[in-house]
Structure formats: structure tokens, C-alpha cells
Amino acid sequence: MLEITLWGKKFKNPVIAASGTFGFGREYNELYDVSVLGGIATKGLTLKKREGNEGERCYETAGGMLNSVGLQNPGIDYFIENELTFMKSLNTVIIANLSGGSIEEYVKGAEKLDKSDVDIIELNISCPNVKEGGMNFGIKSKVAREVVREVRKVVEKPLVVKLSPNAEDIVDMAVSCVEEGADGISLVNTFKAMAIDIYKRKPVFKNVFAGLSGPSIKPIALRMVYEVSKAVDVPVIGLGGIRDYKDAIEFMMAGASLVQVGTANFINPFACIEIVKGMENFLKVQGINSIGEIIGIV
């Protein structure tokens, strides 16, 4: 009923744990059997280990949260040697989220991941919390084209590009990435935002800006998924503030073939599994035989 096959990969259901909110699945697997999920996207990986940003990293806002993690991760080699075997044992689709500070770094990281056992590479050109690379590749379509083109040359696995809502023109950005060889588009990453500590009279975050996620961004993310889905002929993965099955169904009706759930995991660690169950029930009650029937129906 919820099963869907894309890029030759079978997803048990369209619900994927979003990058940066699920680690490598270990902690959540202690709470519930995460193999019930459609997939898991790893924390953003870089060629070398990163310690992440100094100062505040998370800050709650009305209807959402700000983060400035700064791509803390153990590095791609460590991930492949120490985390991937565990992840593969979870019997769900494994999506490696890849970031980098330069095109060379993206390409080297992509080469390593392509030779590994991950199922899909999600090229992250949308992290707002690093000085070099990250979102800087995801604002202007011309710049994004270069990184997608170079990474595509070394990647045989399915390549999904994760877009920033801060892109100058989200539709042009998506179309450009597909023209350079992206097999899919995921959107949206977090919005560039900020908060001020009025007692210190200073920005909350050391980098001043941080990434806004959660329910407050959902209507904008939904609009972007709708626009992009109409403009590209590759599968779209929708994310941005999904917190229950109704939100997930909205994204699928807007054109997403899969959805990712991020910030909701922090509020309710069972969010993903509850969304899977809620979607199943919705289909039953509505008399829908297969989830494919509602993708892009709006």
C-alpha cells in the first residue's frame, strides 16, 4: 500500500528520517525498530572529520527551531568503516548526505561513497552553517551546476540534490541540477535565520545566522515542493516542517514521491513511525489502494 520503488530501490513506505536529526540511526533503534522506515538519511558527511560550530547549536523558536551544528561528523572513512555496516543491517534504504567546502572535496567524498554500500547519495548544497561550501553552492544556479556536474562524473549510484530554500530561484535551481544529471531533488533544507539574546545584546549564534526548521516553515516548503515537482521530471523528496501524517500527505499531493521528517524527531522521537501508521490508516479510510495514486494529485 505504502511501498514505492524509485531508482531501482524499494522503499517500504515513503517516510525517511531527515539528515541531521537521526544520527546514523543507532539511538532511535533503541527506542523502536527503525527498519520499519522507508529510509534513513545520514548526518551530513564530509571528507574529513568536523567538530562542528562553537557556541549555541540549537535554539527553540515559536513553531520551530534554529540550528547551527556546523556539520559535525566523523568523516566519510570513519562512517564507512564504523557506521555503515550497522546501518545496512537495519534493512532500510540508506541515503548518505554529502557536504563539502569545495568542489574537490565534494568530488573526493562522492567517489568514496559511490564505492561504498550506501544506496543513494544526497548532495547537500544547502547547509547554512559553514563558512566555506555548503549553502554557498546552493544560492546561484550557475554555481550549483558546477558542483553537480563534477560530482555526477564520479557517481554511478542515484544522485539526489538537496536544495536550499534560500536559493535565488528554487525552480531554476532544481531544473539546473536535473540538467546536470541529478536523479532526484530533495527540498527544502533550513532557512537562513537568526535570534538575538536581548540581555547580552548579541546574536544567539556565534555565526550570527542559523538554520530555521519545523512547522513554521511548512507552508513555504510545501509551496516550493509543489512548484519544483511541476517543473522537473525526476522524483522529488519533500521536507520542511512535517510533523504528522497529514503534513506528509500534503507534501505527496503537492508532488513529492517521498518525504523526510526532521525536526519532529526532536519533539517526538516516535514521529516517523507514527507518520507511517497514520498514512497507512489514511489510505485505508480513503479507499486508496496505493500511495502512488495521490502523488502530485493537486
Residues noted as catalytic:
127
- Residue 49 annotated in ligand binding: no
Q: What cell does 286 get?
A: 480513503
- Residue 71 annotated in ligand binding: yes
For ligand ORO, the closer of residues 163 and 291 by Cβ is 163
By CB under 6 A, residue 69 contacts ligand ORO: yes
Q: Name which of 117, 109, 119, 113 is nearest 40 in CA terms.
A: 119
Report the nearest approach of ligand ORO to the CB of residue 71 (Å): 4
3-class DSSP assignment, residue 191: strand
By CB under 6 A, residue 44 contacts ligand ORO: yes
Q: What pairs with residue 238 in β-bridges?
A: 187, 259
For ligand ORO, which residue has the nearest CB?
A: 211
E strand or H helix at 108, and its extent?
Answer: helix 103-115
By CB under 6 A, residue 193 contacts ligand ORO: no
Nearest 5°: the CA angle 107, 110, 116 is 150
Using CB under 6 A as the binding rule, the residues of this chain from 210 to 239 that contact ligand ORO are 211
For ligand ORO, the closer of residues 131 and 153 by Cβ is 131
Q: What is the 3-state secondary structure (H, E, C) of 7-40?
A: CCEEECCCEEECCCCCCCCHHHHHHCCHHHCCEE
For ligand ORO, the closer of residues 46 and 141 by Cβ is 46
By CB under 6 A, residue 116 contacts ligand ORO: no
Query: Around 227, how many Cα atoms within 13 Å sit in the side-chain half-sphere?
Result: 16
Which of 190, 229, 263, 265 binds ligand ORO (CB under 6 A)? It is 190
Report the nearest approach of ligand ORO to the CB of residue 263 (Å): 10
List Cα–Cα distances, 126 to 97, 99, 202, in angstroms: 11, 9, 25
Report the nearest approach of ligand ORO to the CB of residue 297 (Å): 30
By CB under 6 A, residue 124 contacts ligand ORO: yes
List Cα–Cα distances, 269 to 27, 237, 242, in angstroms: 10, 21, 13
Residues at the binding site for FMN are 19, 43-44, 97, 124, 162, 188, 214, 240-241, 262-263
Chain positions contacting ligand ORO, by CB under 6 A: 20, 44, 67-71, 124, 126-129, 189-190, 211
